[in-house]
Each structure stands twice: as C-alpha cells, then as structure tokens.
Amino acid sequence: MENKVIIEKIRDFLEQEQNSGKTLFSYRCDSSQINLVTNSKIKVGLNSHKEIILGEDTGLELGGVSRKSFSIIFPINDAQLVEHGKISLLGREINTIGETNIDFGMMVLIGTNNGTDKEIDELRHLNFISNSIEGFSIRTIPRRFWCRINTSALKKGFSFEFLGNAIISLYLQKFKGLIKSIEVIFINSYQDSIEQFIVHSSDIYSKLKEKWKNKIDEWRKRIDCDYDWGCEICPYREECYNIKQVLVSREEI
C-alpha cells in the first residue's frame, strides 16, 4: 500500500503540472518501438560504448554542478503499479532546446520479481547505461546528476524518447528474469517542477536511506562494532571493509 501511495502521488503531480500548462510528452516502449533503438543511427549495446565526452565535444549537458538535478531508481515488488514501457517527459524534447546546459531529473520505476538484496542494489547502478549508449555518458559527482550528450549524437537525432527506449531496453537485457515491468520519467527545463518532484519523492529517499541504515546496523552487529561514529568517518573503515570482503568470500564458497 505504501508503494501505491508514493507512485500515485508522482502520477498526480505530473498530471497537475500538465494541467497548469506545462508540456508533458508520453511515449511507449513496446514491440513496435524496438526499431527506434535497433535501427537508430546511434548505437546501443551493453558495455559497448565506454567513452569520456570532453567539454569541447559536448552538445548538451543535462544537470550538473550549477543546475537542479536528481536521479532516482526505485525498485518495488508491486510490479503491477509500474506501467511497463511508459516514458514520460515533462519539459522539452531535445530538438527544441537551444541551450547547452539544462536542469534535468530522471526516475526509473522498476517492478521486480523477488530478487536478492545484491540484485536489487545492482539495479541502482547506472554505469552500464553510461557505457552502453553511443555519445551519451553519466558523470559521477557527489549529490548531483550530470549527463553529457556529444554533438555527433545530437546530429544523429538523439532525443529523450530514444534515451527512454534505450534505458528500458538495456535494463531488460542486463536484468533478464529479474524485471517484470519498467517505466521512465524525465523532467527538464522546469526548475520549479524538479524542486517539487524531489519533495514529492522524499518518501522514496527515506525508504532507501532507512534500508541502507538497517544494512549498516546489521553489519556492525555482525562484526561486533560498538563505535558511535558513522562508517563514513570511521578510522578503521579500510580494515572493516577487508573483513567484510573475507566474510563475503566465505559465504560464496
């Protein structure tokens, strides 16, 4: 029920933004749309396009240091709550954007089969997306979501519809059997919408933070750690990590 309330809140928000006069596109990634990825001039393949996009080669930056941004990957067991293949874009399509840097946020809703904690955690790592789409990269910086699209990809017709289809296709390839449904939401240009969306999705952040805290507490109990400080400032963090790796290896054996 909690997941249903969270997702309904997000859907209501998008509808309200559209009713206020903001542009909301709705795309669909299904069997009839597979050609958008497979026949595109922009190549897509799992871990086939590891590249660093330099500033001089960048045609459009999404998010970044001086822009509002967010990325949320939200896996849930209630797969029926996720509209499989749906791509929503609140904002402008790329061919109508004149700037070289815009505010940007992305949410990926994933309905899963009952996976292990390790499998669910892997769903939140976006390196494989960054390494799998020609001319597109995700840069890693603290507390910011930052993507770059190179000039060549823009000339080939890179769009948010294409990006959504590529993301869905790549997730289904990489996590075959784990994902039952997947949906993507993009927000760009509307700074106030991004700020409001972050507020509306705060319950998701709270759930993920609580889950992570519980895992840390469980780990600390397991190794009999009674220090009051957090793991991120612990002077024994490296030694603790090495012990953890040994225990993980023993479990795998």
What pLDDT, in 10s, does the model give residues 70-119? Answer: 999 999 999 999 999 999 999 999 999 999 999 999 999 999 988 888 88
Give the closest residue to 74 by CA, choosing from 96, 105, 42. Answer: 105
One-character DSSP codes across 57-113:
GEEEEEE-TTS-EEEEEEEES-GGGS-TTEEEEES--GGG--SSEE-EEEEEEEEE-
pLDDT for the residue 189: 92
Q: Do 46 and 172 contact (CB within 8 A), yes or no?
A: no
In degrees and rounded to multiples of 5, residue 39 shows phi and psi of -100, 10
**pTM of the predicted model over 0.85:** no
> What is the reported pLDDT for 35?
59
The whole-chain average pLDDT of the chain stands at 85
Q: What percent of the chain lies above the pLDDT cut of 70? A: 76
Least confident of 28-32, 46-50, 153-157, 222-226: 222-226
pLDDT at 253: 46
156/79 Cα distance (integer angstroms): 34
pLDDT in tens, 25-57: 999 987 555 556 776 899 999 999 998 899 999
- What is the pLDDT confidence band of residue 205, given thresholds at 50, 70 and 90? low
Structural domains present in the chain: 2-204 (3.30.1650.10), 208-252 (no CATH)
> Cα–Cα distance between 76 and 114 in angstroms, integer?
9
Closest CA relative to residue 177, chosen from 108, 131, 251, 123 = 123
Asked if 185 and 85 touch (Cβ cutoff 8 Å), the reply is no
**More confidently predicted of 213 and 109:** 109
State residue 155's pLDDT score: 96
- In b/e form, how buried is each residue of 142-179, taking b as 16+ CB within 10 angstroms? eebbbbbbbbebbeeebbbbbbbbbbbbbbbebbeebb
Given a contact cutoff of 8 angstroms between Cβ atoms, the answer to whether 132 and 48 are in contact is yes
N-terminal to C-terminal alpha carbon distance within the chain: 38
Instruction: Look at the alpha carbons of 172, 176, 177, 178 in this order and tell me if their dihedral is positive or negative.
Output: negative
Model confidence at 233: pLDDT above 50:
no
Give the distance, in angstroms, between the CA of residue 130 and the centroid of all CA atoms in the same chain: 11
| Residues facing residue 70 across a β-bridge | 105
Give the list of residues 6+ apart from residue 97 with CB closer than 8 angstroms, or none.
60, 188, 189
